[in-house]
Structure 1
Amino acid sequence: MRRVAVVAAVAAVLLTGCSSTGGGDELQVVEDPVAAVAATSPSPQREPAGTVLAQRGEVTAMATAGRTLAVALAEPPSVLLYDLDAPRAKAVSVPLPSAVEELTAHGDEVLATLPRSGEVARIAVPSGTVRTVPVRGRPAGVAVGEDGRLLVAVRDRKAVEVLEGGRVTKTITSDLYSADDVLTTGGRAVVLDRLRTAVFDVDVEQGTVNEGLRAGMGATNAVVDSFGRVLVADTRGGGLLAFSTDPLLLRQRYPVAGGIYGIAYDARRHLAWVTLTGRNEVVGFDVRGGEPTEKYRLPTVRQPNSVTVDEQTSRVVIGSAAGEGIQVITP
C-alpha cells in the first residue's frame, strides 16, 4: 500500500502540464538537456541464451509482422526480412535511402522511419516491396491510429505529423523539446520527448499537445501494453515506468538496474521484455499486477539495443548493435 500511495502522490505532483508558475520548465531536468542513450555493454561473460544468427552489421531496430521478422541494419542502410518459421533461411534484403531509426509493424507491412533522408518507408512483408512517404524534417517514430492515419514524430521540428493517403493533413506541435516517438492505444496518442524526458498527451482531432508528465530521468524507448498503458524505459534513472493514457497518469515506477534500454511487449503472456545493455541481459516482467514481477532473466549478445517478440509463439528476438548477431530465445 505504501508503494501505491507514493506513486499516486508523485503522479499528482507531476500532473502539471506544460505550464510553469515560476518562469521555468517543470518538466526540464537540466538547463541544456541531453537525451539519454544506451549504456555501453561490457564483454559478455556468459553464452547468449537460445540461438544466435550470424549478422556482422549493426542492428538499429527490429519488429515482427505476421510470420516475418524485420531487422534494420545501419550499414548498408537496409531492412532484412526473415521467415520466423525458418530463421536460418536467407533473408530478403530491402535497400533503403538511409538508416532506419524505428520499425513499427502494422498488418502486412512494416513502417520504417528514415531521419537522414526525411522519409517513412512502408515495407510489405514478406515480399519486401517498398514505397516511401516524404516527411519534412527528421522522422524518428511512427504509429498508426485506429482510423488508419499515420502519426509521425518529427524530432527536429518538435512535431507530430498526421499523414493520410500519403500526404500530411495536419501538423501538431507545442512546447516539445523533441518529438522522438509516438504511440497510440485505445484511441489515445502519446508523444515521447527524450530531451525533456517526458510523455505528452496528444489530441489528434483538435491538433493539440496537452498535459505532460516527467518520465524518469532519461526516458529512451516505449511500448504500449494490453491494458491501455504506455510502458517507458527510464535508462538514466534505471526504471520501468507505466503510464495510463485516459487520463495521462504515472501508475507504476519499478526499479531496474543494469542499463534498461530496449523494450517490447508480449500480448499473449502480458510480459514486458527489456534489455539491459550494461549487463548484456534481457528480462521479462509480468505486468498484470500492481507492480512488475520478474519472470525471466537471460544472457544476451553484446550491446542488445533492440528487442521484439513473435506475437504467435512468444519467442523473443534481440539484435546486437555491436555486430554480434541476432538472438532468438524461446522462454
Structure 2
Amino acid sequence: MRRLVITCLTLTLLTGCGMDDSTDPLQVTDTLTAATPATSPPATTPPAGTVHPAPPTQHTAYDRDTRTLVLAAGPQLHLIDTTNGTRRTLDLPAPPANIHAQHGQVLAALPDAHQITRIDLRTTTAHPTPVAGAPVDALDLDPQRTAIALRDTGTITIHNQGQPGTTTEKFQGPAQLLHHNGQVYVLDRLTTAITPINTTTGDKGAGLRAGQGATNTTQDRYGRILTIDTRGQALLAFSTDPLILKQRYPVPGAPYALAYDPTTDTAWVTLTATNELVGYDIAGGEPRERHRIPTISQPDTLALDPDTRTLYIASANGAGYQVVRM
C-alpha cells in the first residue's frame, strides 16, 4: 500500500490514484515533520546595505499605507517607521504564528492565546477576537469574511462578520493561506502540499504535492503561487486555473523566506545555509538569477517595500534586521 501511495505522488495531480484509503492521500509517512530553515553559519561576508539592532525575529511584514515595518519577536511587535526610523513596541498575549500587514493594520494569528488580533498601526492599538482551535493564520477575503487556519482541529473556518461559518475537512498541518479568484489556497507544511478550498462550501479541491518540504508561499501578479521547498531546495511556481506545477527551479542553500516584487517580477529568496539573499526574475518560462546579496546570519524572514524596492531581512538569532535598497 505504501509503495502505491508513493508512486501516485510522483504524478502531478493527486486525485487519480484510484485508492480506497481513509488516510490523507498526500501523506507519505506515518510520522510527518515540517521542514525548517538550516542553522546558519556565522556571517563571514559583510552584509549588504545597513544593519539595525533587533531581537530574534520570527516574522516580518510591511505596510505600504503607513510605511511601517513590523517585526514579530516572540509576543512583542516592533513597529518601525521606515521614513524616520522611529520605533514603537506592542506586547501581545502570545507569539503570533503569522502576520499580515495592509491598509494601515496588522492581522496576527495567536494560536496560544486562541485569538486573532488586528493592530491599528496609526494608533498602536490592538483589537482581539477570540477564536477557538488555535489559529495559525488569518486572511481577510473581503470586508465581511476572514479565513482562519486552526492548528488544533486542522481545519479552515470562514468567519463572517466575526462569526464562524463554513468549515473544511481536516488538514494535517495547515500553516499559510492565500486568496485568489474566490478560492483560498492552503499550504500544509506537514503533507508539504497546496490545496484549494471553496470559501462558500468548504469543499477541498485537488491537492498538489509541493516538493519535499514546503515552508513558505506567496503570489505573483499573474496569479501564480510561488512556494519555497526548503527540504528539496527549490523554488516552485503553480498556476491556479487549474492548480498545476509549472516550474521547479533548484535553489541550493536551504531556501526559506520568500517575497515577491511585482514591479520587477522578482522572487526574493533567503538562503539560511549560506546567509544570502537571491533574486530571481520569474517573468519568463524559467527563473533567472539576477541578484545575490550577502545577509546577516539566520535570515529566516523577509519583507519588501515594492514602492521603493527596499528589502528588509530579519535574523532569527538576534543579528538584527538588514535594509537593502535595490
Mapped to 2, the partners of 1:98 and 1:19 lie a distance apart of 42
**Which runs of structure 2 are paired with 1:293-312 in the superposition (5 Å)?**
293-312=288-307
Partner SS state of residue 108, structure 2: strand
Note the C-alpha offset of 1:167. 2.3
Note the C-alpha offset of 1:63. 0.6
- Provide the TM-score with structure 2 as the length reference: 0.92
CA contact (8 A) 1:119 1:139 kept: yes
Partner SS state of residue 204, structure 2: strand
**2:29 pairs with 1:30:** yes
**Which runs of structure 2 are paired with 1:185-264 in the superposition (5 Å)?**
185-264=180-259
Moved over 6 A (4+): none
Partner SS state of residue 59, structure 1: coil
CA contact (8 A) 1:18 1:26 kept: no
CA contact (8 A) 1:142 1:183 kept: no
Q: Counterpart of 2:308?
A: 313
Mapped to 2, the partners of 1:183 and 1:98 lie a distance apart of 23
Equivalent residue for 1:159, pick from 146, 155, 162: 155
Q: Counterpart of 1:330?
A: 325
Q: Deviations over 1:242-284 (max 9, x none)?
A: 1111211111111100001111111221111111111111111
Q: Counterpart of 1:7?
A: none
Mapped to 1, the partners of 2:24 and 2:148 lie a distance apart of 25
**Which runs of structure 2 are paired with 1:48-197 in the superposition (5 Å)?**
48-55=47-54, 57-66=55-64, 67-74=67-74, 77-87=75-85, 89=86, 91-146=87-142, 148-174=144-170, 176-197=171-192
CA root-mean-square deviation: 1.9
Out of 140-149 and 246-255, give the one that drifted further. 140-149
Note the C-alpha offset of 1:22. 6.3
Question: 1:262 corresponds to which letter in structure 2?
Answer: A
Note the C-alpha offset of 1:173. 2.2
**2:16 pairs with 1:21:** no
Note the C-alpha offset of 1:126. 3.0
Q: Deviations over 1:206-251 (max 9, x none)?
A: 2112210000000011111111011110000000011111211111
CA contact (8 A) 1:276 1:304 kept: yes
Q: Counterpart of 1:46?
A: 45
Structure 2: runs of 5 or more not aligned: 1-7
Note the C-alpha offset of 1:141. 1.7
CA contact (8 A) 1:64 1:308 kept: yes
Given the superposition, is the C-alpha separation of residues 25 and 119 from structure 1 closer, same or farther in structure 2, using an over 3 Å criterion?
closer
CA contact (8 A) 2:302 2:311 kept: yes
Q: Deviations over 1:286-310 (max 9, x none)?
A: 1111111111111111111100101
Question: 2:175 corresponds to which letter in structure 1?
Answer: D
Partner SS state of residue 240, structure 1: strand
Partner SS state of residue 249, structure 1: strand
Name the % identity. 39
Q: Counterpart of 1:281?
A: 276
Question: 2:47 corresponds to which letter in structure 1?
Answer: P
- Provide the TM-score with structure 1 as the length reference: 0.91
Note the C-alpha offset of 1:179. 1.1
CA contact (8 A) 1:19 1:25 kept: no
Mapped to 2, the partners of 1:226 and 1:323 lie a distance apart of 33
Aligned length: 316
Q: Counterpart of 1:5?
A: none
